Structure 1
């Protein structure tokens, strides 16, 4: 199953200088960014849903009503997994096949398959782990990408009244780089010190230089996010991809 699942996924990202530099020009980059932006709110909702659903269901099992609650949570996991398949296919461009089994049959048999099927628990695990991807994506977007965009905006705002762009330290920072070599029992070398107090962007050339750093940081960040989206697509295929063999009751029973 693992080899079949991975064969249905998109090929790995092309690693070249050209593909890295042109990442901001590709539409797929922004589809990946949208997918990763949705990962945190969706992951948080899934985590809360399973935390509340399983805790309430287990605590009420002794009065019977907890069993339907647990079954509802498991059934909802399959429905949410279907949504995740469509999201991955639409935004990431990976092929994630949906199960083709029929829902016909005795109620007891369907409930049994819901509880014992590997598909159900793989869906639960995938949805519960979505929050981890969301946290990583949220951190990368809010720290790296936001910083890059801020750098790019500096040429437009650095000379506005009341706007300070630069580095401010509570106390001077002193850097003491040194190079020492042993020679004839002595240490010979060079030692110097740099003192950094504050620095402010006051000219257009300085603002453009900072914006250039923003371009570099933005390209690097988008490539990191593209790689993260690709890994997420492979993870989705690994856990949620289904074929006819996996969907059959005999496969689940095996």
Structure 2
């Protein structure tokens, strides 16, 4: 029983972290690439652009490790990229023209959308059922009134009905949450596999 609870807590944390990292990747690449390209005429933007484009390997390694820790889905290790020879401009050009690099960047930025879905699903699948389970306690303590589909938690019978609904929702939500976590893990595995093919 403890193992099942631990697994669902891990899934909940994974969904929340997916939202946080997706938001970070989206902002990082949007600001970094825009700033690097716009400032490249002053030569300040060229190193910024180079390091922003080069960061995909580090972020994919992070995603690979996080997926392995939280989902037990094995993701292949990324081979370390060698440092390109030549001037900084040639290295930026090589990174900029690398198709696999742009696919990885788009895949990481797409995690913002996946993260938004993860946040909504984490709330629906894990938090809402727990609040519904606690509705008799909330009714007895007169802490707050829960309303669901226009029905308010004003009587003990309704609060017991909400508790039953919460138990069913928790069982279904845990199954759906586990499925969503596996889908995100497979997405990460495909992203890493595509990047490692370069």
TM-score range, shorter chain: 0.7 to 0.9
* Matched residues, number: 195
CA distance in 2, matches of 1:26, 1:161: 29
Task: State whether structure 2 residue 64 is matched by structure 1 residue 85.
Answer: yes
Return the offset for 1:165: 4.6
* Alignment correspondent of 1:15: none
* Alignment correspondent of 1:224: 176
CA distance in 2, matches of 1:226, 1:162: 32
Counterparts in 2 of 1:156-235, with a 5 A limit? 156-161=137-142, 163-165=144-146, 200-203=153-156, 205-235=157-187
* Alignment correspondent of 2:135: 154
* Alignment correspondent of 1:126: 107
C-alpha distance 112-89 of structure 1, shift in aligned 2 (>3 A): farther
For the Cα contact (< 8 Å) 2:124–2:173, is it kept in 1?
no
Q: TM-score, normalised by structure 2?
A: 0.83
* Alignment correspondent of 1:35: 14
Task: State whether structure 2 residue 4 is matched by structure 1 residue 25.
Answer: yes
Return the offset for 1:168: 9.2
Task: State whether structure 2 residue 47 is matched by structure 1 residue 68.
Answer: yes
* Alignment correspondent of 1:139: 120
For the Cα contact (< 8 Å) 1:153–1:211, is it kept in 2?
yes
Return the offset for 1:164: 3.7
C-alpha distance 92-113 of structure 1, shift in aligned 2 (>3 A): farther
CA distance in 1, matches of 2:114, 2:148: 32
Q: Which has the larger radius of gyration?
A: 1
Q: TM-score, normalised by structure 1?
A: 0.66
Larger mean Cα displacement after TM superposition, 93-102 or 144-153: 93-102
CA distance in 2, matches of 1:243, 1:63: 31
Return the offset for 1:77: 2.1
C-alpha distance 120-145 of structure 1, shift in aligned 2 (>3 A): same
Unaligned runs of 5+ in 1: 1-21, 170-197, 247-251
- RMSD, aligned CA: 2.8
CA distance in 2, matches of 1:99, 1:127: 15
Unaligned runs of 5+ in 2: none
Return the offset for 1:56: 0.7
The answer to which structure has the higher strand fraction is 1
C-alpha distance 210-128 of structure 1, shift in aligned 2 (>3 A): same
